[in-house]
Amino acid sequence: MRISSDRSPFARRSYHLLRCTVLALAGWLVTATDATAKPVADPGSSLSITEVAPGVHRLRIGQPEEFVPSDFRVAPIQTEKLAALPEPTKPHPFNLETVSYRQTSRGLLIHVKMDETEDWYGGGLLLSHLRQTGRRQIMKVASDPPGRDGSGHAPTPFFLNTAGHGFLVDTAREVELAFGGHQRKGQGMLSGNPELAISEAALYDDGNEVSQELSIMVPRASGVDLFLFSGPTMRHVAQRHVLFSGGGFDVPEWSLGVWYRSFTRADANRVRELADYLEADRIPVSVYGLEPGWQSKAYSSSFIWDPERFPDPQATVDDLRSRGYHVNLWQQAFTHPSSPLYPKLLDKSGDHLVWNGLVPDFALPEARKIFADHMRGLVAQGITGFKLDECDGSDNKSRAWSWPDHAQFPSGADGEQMHGVYGLLYMKTLQEALTEPTFGQVRHAGLFSSPLPYALYSDLYDHKSFLRGVGSAGMSGLIWTPEVRHGTSADDLVQRMAAMVLAPQFLINAWYCTMPPWHQWDKPLNQAGIPLPDDERIALTDRVRAVAELRVKFVPALKDAFANYARTGIAPFRAPVLDHPEVKELRNVDDAWMVGENLYFAPIPGGTTEREIILPPGSWVDYHTGEAIAGGSVVTRSLVLEEPPIFVRAGADI
């Protein structure tokens, strides 16, 4: 076993502490009492710690795999910005004396002692929970997360705690972590349940105290790099993670307005009619999105216009642009046999098909170039953005439409690894084609995705889950949008739209609706082409317009939040605990979020008519009433459909 402590140029100031730690670590290696933690037999194995950027250490255990997310970073480490942050109080988050690891038949197993008084967060987009303490999480890419197991559209093995520490596991595999969720023999006891439980929740959820151990299982690996982030505060950890990943991104102002994605089966005439509706209804739309039917084939995708539905695609694009809309095209990577890309990608794709389509191996620069070259033709027609669908996975679906984890790719990755980075690689590919600033949508993102201007979305539609995604994604350097498709009533439609007023995107995704949802909120009736009675339709249109106009008012503030993201790495949308881990009451707030520095948004979830809101520290003003509210106050807001609860920091210029 070898212990190294490479000194990077900026390591000087923490050199002493680092040296002390390495000495302590060396001591641990000799005196380790954990009988199950043995050094790896392979003499090439090692444990070393290196400062790789200000406040960022690399803890290398064993020999990392060849194919890891950091291989595909899209922007360099923002070293200068990292150096400008306040100095951490500790050089890195782990007490290395408590780190142990061993090689198992499943992969590399790492144990670290935690301070169980701290709470853990992160893990990417979470739709079912926010706080990770006590949980076991598996970073498995799957379009239908079954619950709180960590799988989902954008699992991201970056975690951070309320003490101002964090770490990232540089693996594309389905790494499993437990934050005090497992208990080893001989490592202390939990306090135990005081009385006999009479509910499943008491047995299985509430009754589980937290052990002191963090465990990390990197499957099928015999080594891994952990990147360790030091605060000083929790917010600095999130910021360091983004800056280390290449920074955040800014977006063009038009992309913060109202999006309308139209009926997938619409042809050029229908697209023109729908654009006429939007104008007649005076809905201030700024982006018009075409869904799969723009193509000659879907699913899988041909990436060429359908000659019957769109005999003159340039005319369609020009018409939309002349109305002031930017045009966004849906696509998925799976390449249909009829696509001109098919023969070029045949030997640059995985060994499995998806919907008969090739799965391009975007880890190969040549595959990215072939794909981007084709997309450049669409960009030349005036397309300014894309929606990248189904680049996640399907393991929890009743039918496994995506490639299996045991697939093989020419770049050397297996299917599991490719799932772990496919969103990153797919966005990277499209960015090679796009020439001007954009903001798109994507169904998978993860480590090192923070510089890429895409928002995550989902077919899932539970409103509370959708709201939860905004704040959780932000903590891990991701952006998520709680899009609207239809309503269960006119009020439900308005309530869902209102919850997007301060969301990353205001996105009406009417891909399965023949007409705008405010012409008919009911999905089956909309699909059947039956609009609401005129009076109801006009009234609903007025209400939707009011909400859309409220959104538009906030575009400058939203633009500021994104500009700040690009400049500093501070997530534009984030759960309030990130800014105030010291406020225990905020630690489980998963349905309200900070927007930039001066806005706090607490929409009332669909299906409910009032909610409690805990104001973060500071002085606040209710946007709608002008009422001043002190930070720390708990206020109740009843549903006013077109006026979702918005709080402005006192004195801020909004």
CB of 413 to a copy of itself, least distance (A): 10
- The neighbour count for residue 604, using CB atoms within 10 Å, is 23
CB of 197 to a copy of itself, least distance (A): 7
Residues 517-576 that bind a copy of itself (CB under 8 A): 527
Q: Could you say which of 51, 119, 170, 176 contacts a copy of itself (CB under 8 A)?
A: 176
The window from 174-182, 267-275, 530-538, 627-635 that contacts a copy of itself (CB under 8 A) reads: 174-182
The mark string for 448-467 relative to a copy of itself (x by CB under 8 A, - otherwise) is -----------x--------
Cβ atoms of 151 and 191 within 8 Å: the answer is no
CB of 401 to a copy of itself, least distance (A): 6
- The helix or strand, by DSSP H or E, that contains position 595, with its residue range, turns out to be strand 593-595
Give the sign of the dihedral formed by CA 110, CA 112, CA 153, CA 142.
positive
Residue with Cβ nearer a copy of itself (14 or 215):
215
Size of the site for a copy of itself (CB under 8 A): 77
The mark string for 359-388 relative to a copy of itself (x by CB under 8 A, - otherwise) is ------------------------------
Q: Does 220 bind a copy of itself (CB under 8 A)?
A: yes
Work out whether strand 506-509 and strand 326-332 pair parallel, antiparallel, or are unpaired: unpaired
- Extract long-range pairs of 583-588: CB within 8 Å, 24+ residues apart: 583/614, 583/616, 583/617, 583/632, 585/614, 585/634, 586/614, 586/616, 587/119, 587/131, 587/162, 588/130, 588/131
Q: Could you say which of 12, 13, 182, 553 contacts a copy of itself (CB under 8 A)?
A: 182
Cβ atoms of 218 and 107 within 8 Å: the answer is yes
Residues 134-173 that bind a copy of itself (CB under 8 A): 134-136, 138, 144, 146-149
CB of 210 to a copy of itself, least distance (A): 9
Q: Does 409 bind a copy of itself (CB under 8 A)?
A: no
The mark string for 41-70 relative to a copy of itself (x by CB under 8 A, - otherwise) is ------------------------------
Q: Does 350 bind a copy of itself (CB under 8 A)?
A: yes
Rounded to whole angstroms, the Cα distance separating 224 from 22 reads: 19
The strand pairing partners of 230, in sequence order, are: 165
Residues 320-349 that bind a copy of itself (CB under 8 A): 337, 349
- The neighbour count for residue 312, using CB atoms within 10 Å, is 12
Q: Could you say which of 15, 19, 36, 307 contacts a copy of itself (CB under 8 A)?
A: 36
Q: Does 392 bind a copy of itself (CB under 8 A)?
A: no
Q: Does 406 bind a copy of itself (CB under 8 A)?
A: yes
Residue with Cβ nearer a copy of itself (111 or 543):
111
- The neighbour count for residue 563, using CB atoms within 10 Å, is 16
Residue with Cβ nearer a copy of itself (203 or 380):
203
The strand pairing partners of 158, in sequence order, are: 168
Nearest to 454 by CA among 170, 237, 239, 248: 248
Residue with Cβ nearer a copy of itself (203 or 630):
203
Rounded to whole angstroms, the Cα distance separating 518 from 420 reads: 38
The window from 351-359, 429-437, 587-595, 635-643 that contacts a copy of itself (CB under 8 A) reads: 351-359
CB of 387 to a copy of itself, least distance (A): 15
CB of 566 to a copy of itself, least distance (A): 35
The mark string for 289-308 relative to a copy of itself (x by CB under 8 A, - otherwise) is ---xx----xx---------
Residues 255-284 that bind a copy of itself (CB under 8 A): 263-265
Which amino acid belongs to residue 233?
T
Rounded to whole angstroms, the Cα distance separating 616 from 199 reads: 34
Q: Does 414 bind a copy of itself (CB under 8 A)?
A: yes
Q: Does 83 bind a copy of itself (CB under 8 A)?
A: no
- Extract long-range pairs of 394-399: CB within 8 Å, 24+ residues apart: 394/142, 394/143, 394/144, 395/140, 395/141, 395/142, 395/151, 396/142, 396/143, 396/144, 396/145, 396/146, 396/151, 397/142, 397/143, 397/144
Name 262's Cβ contacts closer than 8 Å, sequence gap at least 6. Answer: 270, 271, 274, 288, 289, 290, 291, 510, 511
Q: Does 635 bind a copy of itself (CB under 8 A)?
A: no
CB of 509 to a copy of itself, least distance (A): 12
Nearest to 215 by CA among 145, 131, 120, 142: 120
The mark string for 188-207 relative to a copy of itself (x by CB under 8 A, - otherwise) is -xx-xx-xxxxxx--xxx-x
The terminus-to-terminus CA distance of the chain in angstroms comes to: 58
Q: Could you say which of 12, 16, 42, 104 contacts a copy of itself (CB under 8 A)?
A: 104
Residue with Cβ nearer a copy of itself (211 or 245):
211
Q: Could you say which of 31, 33, 322, 398 contacts a copy of itself (CB under 8 A)?
A: 398
Name 177's Cβ contacts closer than 8 Å, sequence gap at least 6. Answer: 123, 136, 137, 138, 139, 150, 157, 159, 169, 214, 215, 216, 217
Residue with Cβ nearer a copy of itself (460 or 635):
460
Rg of the chain over all Cα atoms, to the nearest angstrom? 25
Q: Does 121 bind a copy of itself (CB under 8 A)?
A: no
CB of 188 to a copy of itself, least distance (A): 10
Residue with Cβ nearer a copy of itself (190 or 380):
190
CB of 606 to a copy of itself, least distance (A): 19
Placement of tokens 């010291």 in the chain: 582
Rounded to whole angstroms, the Cα distance separating 109 from 222 reads: 9
DSSP state of 37: -
Q: Could you say which of 7, 397, 553, 584 contacts a copy of itself (CB under 8 A)?
A: 397
